[in-house]
């Protein structure tokens, strides 16, 4: 080491006199609007959902998640904006000055109820957190559409081409029921529980992982989440980060261990503790929430508000925990 720079290695560096941070951005102008008769002021660029949350006005959401780009596909968050011909999705519609919003009008409640009935009549929502409460709140009665049709065979729904379909007789209502896809050791894909919220596609794509192993294929009611040519995950681009599991609102995507414990009747969320810690692998420092049941980690998630990766993990962080509690003799 040349002596002229030796001081770098022996003396503490001089301190900055200013605290470094991002360049200042001008605060957005305040926008005033009316929500449910209340005058509300929020920063320009905020969505109606942001404004409602700031006012503690509850808006139900399914396809919305803080760490993903809103796709406003589920339409359960619709609200009524004065002057608009149709209802608008609160999750993605930016506020405008003078806007008058109703979040619980008869029209709003009607559409939310129908959206929930349509979903519940076509999708298995039994492991979707919070949906039972929503159905109750809106008085949704999915049975109005009649009995459910029998489940499709494995691969049958994936194979449907866009265009003409088999004309129904209406005796039973079509569903997305089909066998669960189990093609790897780490997680299962139970598309009978898929509401097609696009979140997994976003998490696999530019919103988190940039792997693009899955996309929406097919059209209309036959649209489904798919790898290319419905190839099994081990023959796809999947890197098993499990970020799709992390964002799935219905439990369609699930740790294989949870899936098997549920099947065996041993899954007991009430008996589980949740502890936040830091991933034991690389230097990124992702926060892991360890779900522990009877002294064993049964699932790993990551909080959406963890600043480093906003809830997203890699394959090691999400699945590579089995070395604790497993015993063994070293690598």
Partner 1 sequence: MDLVTLAPRATPDERAAVDVVLGAPVGRWDGGERADPEGGHVASGGHAARERRHLLLPVLHAIQERVGWISRPALEYACRRLSIPPADAYGVARFYGLFSTTLRPPIVAHVCDDIACRLAGAEDVCADLGRALGPAGEPALDGEATWLRSPCLGRCERAPAALFTVAGTLPETIAAAPVDAAGIVTRLERTAAGRRLVPAPTDTEPDEERLANVRRSVPQAGGPGLRILRRVGVTDPRSLDDYLATGGYRGLRRAMEIGREAVIAEVTASGLLGRGGAAFPTGRKWAAVAAQPGQPHYTVCNADESEPGTFKDRVLMEEDPYAIVEAMTIEGFATGSAHGFLYIRAEYPLSAARMAHALATARAAGYIGADILGSGVAFDIEIRRGAGAYVCGEETALFNSIEGKRGEPRNKPPFPVEVGLFGRPTAVNNIETLVNIPGIVADGGAAFAALGTQGSRGPKLFCISGSVPGPGVYEVEFGASLGDLIALAGGVTPGRALRAVLLGGAAGVFMGPDSLDLPLTFEATRAAGATLGSGVVMVFDQTADLVGTLRRVAAFFRDESCGQCVPCRVGTVRQEELLARLANGRPNGSVADELALLADLGLAMRDASICGLGQFASSAIESAVRAGLVAFAGHGEARA
Partner 2 sequence: MGSDIALANAIGREIIAAGLENRGFIDRATSGFDAYREKVESYTLEYAERETGVPAARIRELAHAYATAPRAMICWTLGITEHHNGVDNVLALVSLALLTGHVGRYGSGLNPLRGQNNVQGGGDMGALPDRLPGFQHVEQDALRAPFDAEWGVAVPPKRGKHLSAMFEAMEHRELTALYVIGENPVQSEADQAKAIRLLSGLDHLVVQDIFLTRTAQLADVVLPAAAAWAETEGTVTNSERRVQRVRKALEPPGEARDDLAIIFELARRLGADWGEPSAKAVWDELRRLSPVHAGMSYARLESQGGLQWPCYDETHPGELFLHSRLWEDPVPGNRAPFVPVDHDPPVDRLDADFPIRLTTGRRLDSYNTGVQSGRYRSPLRRGESLDLSPEDVAGYRLTEGERVRVVSRRGAVETPVRTDPSLRPGLAFMTLHFQDDVATNLLTIDATDPKSGTAEFKATAIRIEKLVAARGG
Q: What is the DSSP letter of 329?
A: S
Please select the residue that binds partner 1; options are 218, 242, 246, 249, rule is CB under 8 A.
218
Q: Is the sign of the CA dihedral 319, 324, 327, 331 positive or negative? A: positive
204 binds partner 2 (CB under 8 A): no
- Give the contact letters, 223-252, x = binds to partner 2 (CB under 8 A), - = no: ----------xx---xxx------------
The region of 17-25, 28-36, 66-74, 244-252 touching partner 1 under the rule CB under 8 A is 66-74
**Shortest reach from residue 132's CB to partner 1, in Å:** 18
174 interacts with partner 1 by CB under 8 A: yes
The least distance separating partner 2 from the CB of residue 15, rounded to whole angstroms, comes to 7
Under a CB-based contact definition with an 8 Å cutoff, are residues 300 and 317 in contact?
Answer: yes
Binding mask 72-101 vs partner 1 (x if CB under 8 A, - otherwise)? xxxxx-x-------xx-x--xxx-------
CA 280/CA 277 separation, integer angstroms: 9
User: CA-CA distance, 281 to 317, in Å (whole number)?
Assistant: 7
Sign of CA dihedral 41, 47, 51, 54: negative
- How many chain residues touch partner 2 (CB under 8 A)? 68
Under the binding rule (CB under 8 A), the answer on residue 3 touching partner 2 is no
Measured distance CA(187)–CA(247) in Å, rounded:
14
Contact stretch for partner 1 (CB under 8 A) within 7-15, 160-168, 245-253, 261-269? 160-168
Element (H, E) at 278: strand 273-278
Q: Can you tell me the distance from the alpha carbon of 329 to that of 281, in angstroms, rounded to the nearest whole number?
A: 19
Cα(181)–Cα(257) distance, rounded to whole angstroms? 14
Give the span between the Cα atoms of 226 and 236, in whole angstroms: 10
132 binds, among partner 2, partner 1, none (CB under 5 to 8 A by kind): none
Residue 293 binds which entry of partner 2, partner 1, none, CB below 5-8 Å type-dependent: none
Beta carbons within 8 Å of 173's beta carbon, 6+ residues apart:
121, 122, 145, 146, 147, 148, 149
Question: Should residue 188 be labelled a site residue for partner 1 when binding is judged by CB under 8 A?
Answer: no
Q: Does 292 bind partner 1 (CB under 8 A)?
A: no
Q: Which does residue 115 bind out of partner 2, partner 1, none, counting CB within 5 to 8 angstroms by kind?
A: partner 1
Residue 21 touching partner 2 (CB under 8 A): yes
Torsion of CA 106, 107, 108, 110, to 10 degrees: 80
With binding defined as CB under 8 A, does residue 276 bind partner 2?
yes
- Distant-in-sequence, close-in-space partners of 281: CB < 8 Å, separation ≥ 6: 314, 316, 317, 320
Of the pair 148, 261, the CB lying nearest partner 1 is at 148
* Residue from 240, 196, 193, 194 nearest 72 by CA: 196
Single out the residue of 3, 39, 56, 273 in contact with partner 2 (rule: CB under 8 A): 273
Q: Which of 3, 11, 29, 150 binds partner 2 (CB under 8 A)?
A: 11
292 DSSP β-pair partners: 273, 297
Minimum CB distance to partner 1, residue 121 (Å):
7
Q: Which residues bind partner 1 (CB under 8 A)?
A: 71-76, 78, 86-87, 89, 92-94, 107, 110-111, 113-115, 118-119, 121-122, 144-146, 159, 161-165, 167-171, 173-174, 195-196, 205, 211-223, 226-229, 231, 235-237
């Amino acid at each position: 080491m040349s002596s002229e720079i030796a001081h770098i290695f022996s003396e503490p560096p001089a301190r900055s006199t200013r605290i470094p941070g991002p360049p200042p951005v001008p605060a957005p102008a305040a926008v005033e609007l009316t929500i449910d008769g209340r005058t509300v002021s929020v920063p320009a660029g905020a969505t109606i959902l942001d404004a409602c949350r700031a006012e503690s006005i509850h808006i139900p959401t399914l396809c919305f998640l803080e760490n993903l780009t809103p796709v406003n596909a589920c339409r359960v968050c619709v609200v009524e904006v004065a002057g608009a011909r149709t209802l608008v999705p609160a999750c993605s519609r930016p506020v405008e000055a003078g806007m008058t919003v109703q979040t619980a009008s008869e029209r709003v409640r009607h559409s939310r109820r129908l959206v929930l009935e349509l979903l519940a009549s076509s999708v298995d929502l039994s492991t979707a957190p919070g949906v039972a409460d929503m159905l109750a709140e809106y008085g949704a009665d999915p049975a109005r559409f009649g009995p459910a049709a029998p489940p499709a065979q494995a691969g049958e729904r994936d194979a449907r081409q866009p265009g003409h379909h088999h004309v129904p007789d209406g005796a039973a209502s079509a569903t997305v029921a089909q066998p669960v896809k189990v093609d790897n050791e780490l997680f299962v894909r139970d598309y009978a529980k898929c509401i097609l919220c696009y979140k997994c596609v976003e998490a696999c794509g530019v919103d988190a992982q940039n792997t693009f192993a899955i996309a929406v294929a097919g059209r209309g009611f036959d649209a489904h989440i798919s790898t290319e040519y419905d190839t099994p995950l081990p023959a796809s681009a999947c890197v098993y980060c499990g970020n799709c599991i992390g964002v799935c609102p219905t439990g369609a995507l699930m740790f294989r261990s949870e899936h098997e414990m549920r099947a065996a009747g041993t899954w007991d969320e009430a008996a589980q503790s949740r502890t936040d810690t830091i991933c034991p692998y690389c230097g990124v420092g992702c926060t892991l929430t360890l779900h522990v049941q009877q002294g064993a980690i049964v699932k790993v998630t990551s909080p959406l508000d963890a600043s480093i990766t906003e809830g997203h993990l890699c394959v090691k962080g999400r699945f590579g925990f089995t070395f604790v509690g497993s015993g063994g003799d070293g690598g």
